[in-house]
Amino acid sequence: MRLTDLLQLTNDLSNQTNLYLTIGQKTIPLAKVKISSSECLLFPGKKSLTKEKLINLVKNIHGRSIPIFIYNQKERIAVYGIQILPDQNGVRLT
């Protein structure tokens, strides 16, 4: 999945939607985003970012067509899609 895909898929959701990662069948909060010219790395943590915070981080980036990876203990996991979690007001990247 590319960064532009994520932004388009979550466009209709509330800005207060929390973002989560799927790591080994577990749902873990997305806490940090690191962007380079060739990739977007998502890091797990204790408190999840909201959609609004993610948009603020990437709003001035011109090359949004970069792949997204979950970075967990030196392992890069490709992101292929999202799952909307209405009960948790969240989105899980899988």
Vertex 48 angle, CA 92 and 28, to 5°: 50
Q: How many CA atoms are closer than 13 Å to the CA of 25, on its beta-carbon side? A: 0
* CA angle (23, 28, 30) in 5-degree steps: 105
- E strands along the chain, which residues? 18-23, 26-35, 40-44, 68-72, 75-78, 82-85, 90-93
pLDDT in tens, 36-90: 989 999 999 999 999 999 999 998 888 889 999 999 988 999 999 999 999 999 9
Q: Which pLDDT value is given to residue 23?
A: 94
Q: Which has the closest alpha carbon to 36: 74, 66, 77, 71?
A: 66
Domain range summary for the chain, segments of one domain joined by +: 3-93
pLDDT at 62: 82
